[in-house]
Structure 1
Amino acid sequence: MVINERVEIYNVETGARFATYVIEAPPRSGTISLNGAAARLAMPGDKIIIVAYASFDEAEAKTFKPRIVRVDRDNRILPS
């Protein structure tokens, strides 16, 4: 994901789904925060799914492998 990229957020706890954008945080900080109106749609401790999309031409689409990143309670990346 890159700064200002649009992402979808799915709140597993409440069922809320909404679009927002990526905001920079310190590297390896584990920070995931929602600002503005989006902040009212999830609370600290809620489990969320963050979805990012990409566009590919036909050749790229055939070889693309999606990445699923799972994290622990402190947002540290878990081994795959």
Structure 2
Amino acid sequence: MLRTMLNSKIHRARVTEARLDYEGSLSLDPDLMEAAGLLPYEQVRVYNISTGERFETYVIKGDRPGSGTVCLNGAAARKGSPGDLVIIASYGLYAPEEIPSGQSILVWVDEHNRVARRKVDPWSA
């Protein structure tokens, strides 16, 4: 049996843009992607704290490092508005023997979507 485990999470990022007429995805500041270990085109789940909306999409690199970009693109633009707080999470499937050495990357941001704190948390107790 495989288990679905949290790979990484960006907690309480603020949506900076919503662009309906753009290819579907979530544009993120490259610094946030690096901090959370996210790759371009990796699937993520987005939880909108402000509205309760939840959806899946994929990540693409935002315009420039340090920009704080969190932009909902395409259909995702209907799931939130600039100013909304969101959690961005990635998950993976793992075999039981992988669990003891696994870990999640947790990233908290400030009001400008800059990394305020980063923690690597092991899955095993």
TM value normalised by structure 2 = 0.59
* Structure 2: runs of 5 or more not aligned: 1-37, 119-125
Q: Partner of 1:71 in structure 2? A: 109
Q: Partner of 2:41 in structure 1? A: 4
For this pair of structures, how many residues does the alignment match? Answer: 80
- Give the alignment partner of residue 38 of structure 1, picking from 71, 76, 94: 76
CA shift digits 1:26-51 (9 cap, x unpaired): 22321111100100111111000001
Answer 1 or 2: higher relative contact order, Cα 8 Å, separation at least 6: 2
CA distance in 2, matches of 1:7, 1:76: 19
* Structure 1: runs of 5 or more not aligned: none
TM value normalised by structure 1 = 0.89
Q: Partner of 1:13 in structure 2? A: 50
CA shift digits 1:29-80 (9 cap, x unpaired): 2111110010011111100000101233333321112111000110011135
Partner of 1:27: helix, strand, or coil? coil
Percent of pairs with identical residues: 44
